């Protein structure tokens, strides 16, 4: 077991992350780690640049989502700034056939799975039932119910197991979700049936206004072994550590060794959602201290030192990020709002009398508003 339980290793939202595995220090310097090193030793310069590129694109996409919400184009947005390494790093380790079950904050995971510009915004704009066609990117719709996706992932994994597939399910959730019964029940099933599922907990220190110390008095990774699930506690601002941990977990699952748990210790730099004001419960000094551990700057420093990335490469990435943001904005503002009664169109595969009755009643309700503007 790679996890050691100590009281001092719980961060409680302070800059010292405690006992975590990493291969990149905050300044970008490389440090040896016997557990993680074997899983990233083969990363090519091309793969490392792609990792950095997707992290930059994720941050730019996230900033555009916040701006669109502030401008009244989206009803809500859940920012992910500061968590790019966890999301992009783990997503880059996945195989095409693997299936992810994200929460509402995993924009970088969706980017890694091939989401299109409109996929990020149409659901938050209220234009679609779901965010995208899950069959095209192997990603379930973002889950709003805290922790429910862990059960969905475990069920999918058990199905893949019975089909004789080597594909793996991945459930993403935050530290607050670990207090939910769904997460614990999913881990019971996953362990009992040796399901090929990976649980990725992004410990971003805050569950809305509650610090992680309310969720756990000891590091969250220490819970998984109690279910019979091996775990790693990694520096979630170290993209290479995130790739390595996910590769380790996926390898175990594909070899029939069952589930794994990854606690990625990171920080939510922005609000919980755009309806939240974190200045009411967080100290500015804490935020600034975590800003010094920025995951993109860390990887960029390493790539520059290794001669893998230069100014020209950074400029190209910046242009790509701006282009993505422009496409997302165009997809949002240019969306065509369908007639309200079309919300009934895809509830059932076949016509249903009860549904038709509801459609008629709703049409009558809408008709009641006609002509009000001229009164």
The yes-or-no answer on residue 272 being catalytic is: yes
The yes-or-no answer on residue 52 being catalytic is: no
Bridge partner list, 170: 100, 198
Marked catalytic residue, from 107, 252, 268, 293: 268
Nearest of 214, 289, 302, 300 to residue 17 by alpha carbon? 289
Q: Using CA atoms, how far apart are residues 200 and 202, in angstroms rounded to an integer?
A: 6
Marked catalytic residue, from 272, 293, 298, 329: 272
End-to-end CA distance of the chain: 73
The yes-or-no answer on residue 362 being catalytic is: no
Marked catalytic residue, from 218, 281, 348, 365: 281
Catalytic residues: 268, 272, 281
């Amino acid at each position: 077991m790679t996890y050691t339980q100590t009281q001092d290793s719980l961060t409680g939202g302070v800059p010292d992350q405690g006992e975590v595995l990493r291969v990149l220090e905050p300044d970008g310097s490389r440090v040896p780690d016997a557990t993680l090193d074997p899983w990233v030793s083969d990363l090519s310069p091309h793969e490392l640049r792609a990792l950095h590129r997707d992290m930059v694109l994720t941050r730019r996409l996230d900033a555009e989502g916040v701006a669109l919400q502030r401008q009244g184009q989206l009803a809500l947005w859940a920012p992910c700034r500061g968590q790019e390494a966890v999301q992009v790093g783990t997503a880059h380790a996945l195989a095409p056939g693997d299936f992810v079950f994200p929460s509402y904050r995993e924009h970088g995971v969706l980017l890694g799975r091939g989401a299109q510009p409109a996929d990020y915004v149409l659901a938050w704009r209220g234009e679609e039932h779901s965010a995208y066609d899950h069959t095209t990117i192997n990603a379930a719709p973002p889950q709003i119910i805290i922790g429910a996706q862990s059960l969905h992932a475990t069920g999918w994994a058990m199905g893949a197991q019975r089909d004789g597939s080597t594909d793996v399910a991945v459930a993403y959730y935050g530290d607050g979700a670990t207090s939910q019964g769904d997460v614990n029940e999913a881990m019971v099933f996953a362990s009992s049936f040796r399901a090929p599922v990976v649980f990725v907990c992004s410990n971003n220190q805050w569950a809305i206004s509650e610090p992680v110390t309310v969720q756990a008095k000891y590091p969250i990774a220490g819970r998984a072994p109690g279910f019979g699930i091996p775990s790693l506690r990694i520096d979630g601002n170290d993209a290479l550590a995130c790739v390595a941990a996910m590769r380790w977990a996926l390898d175990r699952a594909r070899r029939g060794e069952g589930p794994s748990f990854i606690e990625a210790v990171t920080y939510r730099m922005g609000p919980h959602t755009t309806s939240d004001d974190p200045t009411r419960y967080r100290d500015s000094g804490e935020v600034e201290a975590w800003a010094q551990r920025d995951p993109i700057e860390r990887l960029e420093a390493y790539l520059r030192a290794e001669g893998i990335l230069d100014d020209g490469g950074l400029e190209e990435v910046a242009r790509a990020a701006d282009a993505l943001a422009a496409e997302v904005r165009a997809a949002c503002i240019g969306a065509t709002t369908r007639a309200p009664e079309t919300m009934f169109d895809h509830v059932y595969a076949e016509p249903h009398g009860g549904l038709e009755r509801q459609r008629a009643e709703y049409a009558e309700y809408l008709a009641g508003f006609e002509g009000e503007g001229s009164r």
